């Protein structure tokens, strides 16, 4: 193997690893690097350094490619643009394909469902209850149809506010498979526990908490994990 070819494999491999580190894990809102380098939370702010490591790896990879004899007379800016616009999207596409194959072949109806987006908002707080708006955009990678229900597990710190660990959604949901979107738009009102005031909820910094959504039917179940930011 020639020196240039070997170097190209090495530096493209470094770039590919940076893409893998930033890729969202199945059934999780975190990427691998976010578990390795967790956010640093202060009193009213958060410092997220998880993107720094992949950024450094990307810089090393591009810089290494620019130094190869193959590209000695090429514009460094052009090489950088090609990597960002063509190479990295192709790498992400490869990971998308691998995820699709993995999830579509799982012998579990619920584990084949992944989320594309999750949005949790508190729309109102009174002295008696809290109203939350929850929107889930799900994708089922299997070919078959399935029915399921959803249970939302509250963060551990919230159990004192509501005296409950989870909330069951009343509706039953249907998946038609084949990566068709499943939209769940739900408004839930939860009664506050005795002695808890609206100020307790305001001061809880709930938007940093982790919520789990269990999808289940009579056959299978799985959990989607959403980390607040």
126-177 confidence digits (pLDDT tens): 888 889 999 999 999 988 888 999 999 988 888 888 878 899 998 899 888 7
SS3 labels along the chain:
CCHHHHHHHHHHHHHHHHHHHHCECCCECCEHHHHHCCCEECCCCEECCCCHHHHHHHHHHHHHHHHCHHHCCCCHHHHHHHHHHHHHHHHHHHHHHHHHHHHHCCCCCCCCEEEEEEEEEEEEECCCEEEEEEEEEEEECCCCCEEEEEEEECCHHHHHHHCCCEEECCCCEEECCCCCEEEEEEEEEEECCCCCCHHHHHCCCHHHCEEEEEEECCCCEEEEEEECC
Q: How does the average pLDDT of the chain come out, rounded? A: 88
**Cα–Cα distances in angstroms (integers) from residue 79 to residues 69, 107, 168, in the given order:** 13, 43, 52
pLDDT per residue as tens digits for the range 28-86:
999 999 999 988 877 677 778 889 999 999 999 999 999 888 888 888 899 999 999 99
> How would residue 1 be classed by pLDDT, with cut points 50, 70 and 90?
low
pLDDT per residue as tens digits for the range 177-186:
778 889 999 9
CA–CA–CA angle 87, 92, 98 (5° rounding): 130
Spatial distance between the Cα atoms of 182 and 80, rounded to a whole number of angstroms = 37
Tokens of 62: 């591009």
Domain ranges of the chain: 3-104, 113-227
What's the number of CA atoms in the CB half-sphere (13 Å) around residue 110? 18
What are the two backbone dihedrals, phi and then psi, of residue 219, each rounded to the nearest 5 degrees?
-110, -50
Tell which residue, 149, 178, 183, 180, has the closest CA to residue 166.
149
* pTM, to two decimals: 0.85
Q: Are 96 and 8 in contact (CB under 8 A)?
A: no
Q: Residue 30: what pLDDT?
A: 93
Give residue 214's region: left, alpha or beta (phi > 0; psi -120 to 50): beta
Maximum separation of any 2 CA atoms in the chain, in Å: 73
Q: Residue 137: what pLDDT?
A: 94
Instruction: For domain 113-227, give the CATH number.
Output: 2.60.40.10
pLDDT per residue as tens digits for the range 105-123:
888 888 899 988 888 888 8
């Amino acid at each position: 193997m020639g020196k240039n070819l070997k170097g190209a494999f090495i530096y493209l491999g470094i770039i590919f690893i940076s893409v893998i580190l930033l890729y969202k894990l199945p059934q999780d809102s975190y990427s691998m690097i976010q578990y390795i380098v967790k956010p640093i939370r202060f009193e009213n702010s958060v410092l997220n350094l998880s993107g720094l490591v992949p950024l450094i790896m990307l810089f090393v990879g591009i810089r290494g490619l620019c130094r190869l004899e193959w590209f000695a007379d090429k514009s460094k800016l052009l090489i950088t643009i090609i990597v960002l616009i063509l190479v990295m999207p192709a790498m992400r596409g490869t990971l998308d394909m691998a995820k699709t194959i993995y999830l579509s072949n799982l012998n579990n109806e619920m584990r084949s469902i992944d989320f594309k987006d999750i949005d949790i908002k508190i729309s109102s707080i009174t002295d008696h209850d809290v109203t939350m708006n929850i929107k889930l955009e799900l994708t089922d990678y299997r070919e078959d149809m399935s029915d399921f229900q959803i249970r939302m597990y509250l963060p551990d710190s919230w159990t004192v506010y509501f005296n409950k660990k989870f909330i069951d959604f009343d509706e039953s949901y249907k998946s038609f498979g084949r990566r068709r979107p499943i939209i769940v738009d739900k408004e839930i009102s939860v009664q506050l526990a005795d002695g808890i005031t609206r100020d307790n909820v305001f001061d809880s910094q709930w938007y940093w908490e982790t919520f789990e959504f269990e999808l289940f039917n009579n056959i299978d179940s799985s959990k989607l994990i959403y980390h607040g930011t």
